[in-house]
Structure 1
């Protein structure tokens, strides 16, 4: 991969007899915002801590900028970490908290002042430099923790669920600020979260992990619209799974038989006629109406079981004529909420094939 900064080669980690990281191989480009995403206990924080130097892999190599670091302690890696708990010193001012790492390194006082002031300005904290942590909000304390890491001019900045203690609106605001700073400074960041929306909104590359195994790496669009496994499709957002069999395949065009209906999908998977297949269709990719739509790949009759008004959309639970339940999201529907008998209209390019042997 061009411009690779971080490489993980055959990384394995065991705690007792439990393998929490299972033969992970990964390359991360310089200047990218990379997110490790997965459910609690999947191994994402363990993987991050091995990059930081808090854990040593039982087997494998960690290479940063061409240098093997898996045996080096954290302070020799230049990979500062921002924690969920902030970890600020309560007896120090904001300025002294941010300056702490440089002070330990016995950096020149003039350099410390310049770099701390620059970091505080980036995080919009310059006016709060004389305050103590207990005089600040949670969002402000998290900004201080990030500034303390930025002041070290990190080769790679590591963040372990740093926004999870903030309320929803503040979390969205801080993640926008963090992403803008990352782009401005062209920083390489590795970010851990279990929040799918956060990962989709912030990342250049998402690494989906489950039970210590990487299921898929890719851009947010690839992960969302072209999941490689059923786990990825189900974990990222909401989806509808359709089980069917391959009716025909010509090149990348695949016809899937769903109870006598033909779903057309595009796939380069090595799949043959007669084989079982799983289709993923996102709720927003299905149109709901009272009539058949000409030109769509498939029209299914159904009955609305339940509807939920969610502000920007209405979410419908619809049971089709074959007794399968569908989740359908209708955006910009005005004040109209449908009920009773409906048609589900699915366009040709919306279904995505997931083929798992």
Structure 2
């Protein structure tokens, strides 16, 4: 069986370093917001070419704390509208709701699965205050265009980068005002390109005020122990998970290069008119957290691949607006989003795959 994702195999190369880090953290007797967290925050901020990184409990909390931080700073207020792609994983939308903001769903581009910048302005109202751009499956959204729409309409831009660790886009010279970047939310869930051995997340930003507020909010709203400035939460990146991430971060670029190399083979060698391959312009804007194909006969193809001992996963079977939890949205219609959710299928793609396994996946798909 070719597993969709073999985390044991992926992490095996780091086992000795993990054991050393475990002993170091145990010996330090400092288990909350210690030196490993500080070191990771510094390292990851530098990796992302940003000024600040604040480690938090998970990617969902990272998004919620960004929104709540902007509320504390007066840049958002409860009831404001946030533009978000309709086909995103539901966590993006739940984070908006958790912050008492209003999600406004916008269709993606069928080609990239990311937010369609051309459809944003028609959804902007007097209550719109922000855009949440989601870099789905590891490919960056069209940030130059999204930033330009946001600038023209005085909107905040937040990036859900939970699946895009290490992806970068070139800012067009005439749009140099965007070079400072937007605030980003990252997840270090074990299956991510940069995955911990448990939950973890981070807020990455160049906004000093926001960084300070988020750092306080994650720790009960307290900057100084026992003195509470805001209604905060307990959402701190675990010291041990930060230690493991410090081991893995220096290898992230190389592992992303392996993912791109596998993707290039899939894109050039899979030849089957029953399968729609993902779009990629061969730039650094994609780190292939997932390699997502589309087919009109998904159940049949998935069963065929499983019969041939290839495991696949559907990301994601049910769109947010059709979920029971959001029953007031169930009658809404987003045809492109629904088409995507009905047809997508994720193939195995990760740095642990062997050449033989890659060959077999390609050959099996071509024989379908």
Going by fraction, where is strand more abundant, 1 or 2?
A: 1
- Max radius of gyration: which structure? 1
Q: TM-score, normalised by structure 2?
A: 0.27
Highest relative contact order (Cα 8 Å, sep 6+), 1 or 2?
A: 2
Q: TM-score, normalised by structure 1?
A: 0.28
Going by fraction, where is helix more abundant, 1 or 2?
A: 2
